[in-house]
Structure 1
Amino acid sequence: MRFFTVLMLALALATTGRAQDAAATLTVTGEAEVAAAPDMAVITVGVTSLARSAADAMDDTSVKTAEILAALAAAGIAERDLQTRALRLNPNWANRSSTPGAGPKIDGFVASNTVMVRVRDLDRLGGVLDTVLGLGANEFGGLSFGLQNPGPAQDEARRAAVAEAMRKARLYAEAAGLTLGPVLSLSEAGGARPAPMMMEAARMADAVPVAAGEVSVSAAVTMVFDIGG
């Protein structure tokens, strides 16, 4: 009986020791953000046509889209930087009749073709926008800026995030009267995001004015440290 009592006491002490060891850690997060000048823009434009027949609507949209793609290619936009994002054909419904029992009627068809364009030379961005608008693009889905090679900026943000986490860990350990030990684990989460940009109204006579601003690249890390009293 005494043997079992001693054994149970030893197991209890071992369990308590493991719990204390598991609790002797400090977890901190570090975040950082760096700004960089963009060197690439992505625009989404489209052509929408309304006609009495589905074939006429699609033909009109296809002709205008083909002209836009040809003009972009002539302006130096590579084929890999042009991508069709959506091709749609829908009936255009007439107003519902006030006659009881009368259903809606189709009075035409709407065809649309949406294209994404990647512009790698920002000096030509205004001219590209002016070209597509002048050739019949009547839908503008947005403009965003980015980096062709975000790696260096991302690495700079990562280093800054780790430095911030280390700074916080040293601060907390000092404030709590603890000894900061080695790093037990490090995990990352983060990504790039475009900064706000401005775009003025399109002008058909001149190139559309745009302001690229900056894009910010962020990184976040979580670090776990061993600590001692």
Structure 2
Amino acid sequence: MKTALVPLALAAAAAPLAAQTAVPVTPVAGTLLDIEATGETTRVPDVALITAGVTTTAADAATAMRDNAARVDRVVTALKRAGIADRDMQTARIALSPQYRYEQNKPPVLTGYQASNQISVRFRDIANAGPVLDALVREGANEISGPDLTLDKPEEALDEARLAAVKIARARAELYAKAAGLQVKRIVSISESGGIAQPRPVMMARSFDMAAAAPQSKVVAGEQQVGVTLSVRFELQ
């Protein structure tokens, strides 16, 4: 009989804890209104992401890889010399593939091997990105793609966009409520579909240094639009 009291005692002790953790839910007595609103703001991008690659060919695989490694070393050295930190460089892809010559009605003939190495580079000084790219080409980079311009720390811009989205949602709710002869009582729920950063078209331009009479690559930062979409549920009365 004494052992039967143990689970009862445990249940009695657990009951107050369960009551403490319960979250009261306020019932909705009025009309529900769902609004989707997007808040936006603009910022000047402060980071450029560019991929620089080196492709080499040779009669045998070992030579192709060795020549490629030597040129990649020169590219990495040039990046460091330009002030790019190790944390802003990352190997994106290394590949080795055989090369064939194809002729009609004849089997493919192996002509050599192609080695490639791509490095993702983050430029925190966009104004200096163009001259650095030119230096990379001089050091052996023969494949360059980008830039993808973005914000290093978008949190402040995203919060600004969130506030704008809430204001837009509330204004629309007030409009609907007035048209229906009601009033906005409260916000029942808010959900975010995700922050996005939409870059405007970016240009890779070339300008001429009149003193040196030589063309230089130039990256134009422009502006970037940051937007957040919210789904807000209101209670009207």
State whether TM-score is above 0.5: yes
Matches within 5 A, 1:166-177: 166-177=170-181
Q: Are 1:224 and 2:233 counterparts?
A: yes
Alpha-carbon separation, structure 2, partners of 1:41 and 1:168: 37
Work out whether residues 194 and 214 of structure 1, in 8 Å CA contact, stay in contact via their aligned partners in 2: yes
Q: Are 1:194 and 2:199 counterparts?
A: yes
Q: CA RMSD in A?
A: 1.9
Work out whether residues 41 and 157 of structure 2, in 8 Å CA contact, stay in contact via their aligned partners in 1: yes
Aligned partner of 1:226: which letter? Answer: E
Work out whether residues 206 and 216 of structure 2, in 8 Å CA contact, stay in contact via their aligned partners in 1: no
**What residue in structure 2 maps to residue 120 of structure 1?**
124
Q: Are 1:82 and 2:74 counterparts?
A: no
List, as ranges, runs of 4+ consecutive aligned residues in structure 1 with deviation greater than 6 Å. none
Uncovered stretches (5+) of structure 2, i.e. residues with no partner: 1-27
Aligned partner of 1:74: which letter? Answer: R
Alpha-carbon separation, structure 2, partners of 1:22 and 1:98: 81
Query: Aligned-pair distance for 1:23?
Result: 8.1
Aligned partner of 2:188: which letter? Answer: L
TM-score by length of 2: 0.81
Compared CA separation, residues 202 and 116, structure 1 to 2 (3 A): farther
Q: Is the partner of 2:217 in helix, strand or coil?
A: coil
Alpha-carbon separation, structure 1, partners of 2:29 and 2:233: 12
Q: Is the partner of 1:208 in helix, strand or coil?
A: strand
**What residue in structure 1 maps to residue 219 of structure 2?**
210
Alpha-carbon separation, structure 2, partners of 1:32 and 1:106: 58
Alpha-carbon separation, structure 1, partners of 2:230 and 2:168: 9
Compared CA separation, residues 156 and 44, structure 1 to 2 (3 A): same
Find 1:31's aligned residue among 26, 38, 41. Answer: 38
Query: Aligned-pair distance for 1:63?
Result: 0.8
Aligned partner of 1:215: which letter? Answer: Q
**What residue in structure 2 maps to residue 17 of structure 1?**
none
Query: Aligned-pair distance for 1:210?
Result: 2.0
Work out whether residues 51 and 146 of structure 2, in 8 Å CA contact, stay in contact via their aligned partners in 1: yes
Compared CA separation, residues 53 and 184, structure 1 to 2 (3 A): same
Work out whether residues 97 and 104 of structure 1, in 8 Å CA contact, stay in contact via their aligned partners in 2: no
Q: Are 1:154 and 2:161 counterparts?
A: no
Aligned partner of 1:217: which letter? Answer: V
Q: Are 1:64 and 2:110 counterparts?
A: no
1:191-216, CA deviations, whole angstroms, 9 ceiling, x for partnerless residues?
22322111125989443122110111
Work out whether residues 161 and 221 of structure 1, in 8 Å CA contact, stay in contact via their aligned partners in 2: yes
Work out whether residues 44 and 115 of structure 1, in 8 Å CA contact, stay in contact via their aligned partners in 2: yes
Q: Is the partner of 1:161 in helix, strand or coil?
A: helix
**What residue in structure 2 maps to residue 8 of structure 1?**
none
1:74-116, CA deviations, whole angstroms, 9 ceiling, x for partnerless residues?
11100000000000001112114424xxx32221111100001
Aligned partner of 1:207: which letter? Answer: Q
Query: Aligned-pair distance for 1:28?
Result: 0.2
Alpha-carbon separation, structure 1, partners of 2:187 and 2:62: 66
Compared CA separation, residues 186 and 163, structure 1 to 2 (3 A): same
Matched residue pairs, number?
A: 205
Compared CA separation, residues 92 and 23, structure 1 to 2 (3 A): farther
Uncovered stretches (5+) of structure 1, i.e. residues with no partner: 1-20
Alpha-carbon separation, structure 2, partners of 1:201 and 1:72: 20
Q: Are 1:129 and 2:133 counterparts?
A: yes
Alpha-carbon separation, structure 1, partners of 2:205 and 2:218: 6
Alpha-carbon separation, structure 2, partners of 1:121 and 1:177: 55
Find 2:183's aligned residue among 179, 185, 194. Answer: 179
Work out whether residues 101 and 110 of structure 2, in 8 Å CA contact, stay in contact via their aligned partners in 1: yes
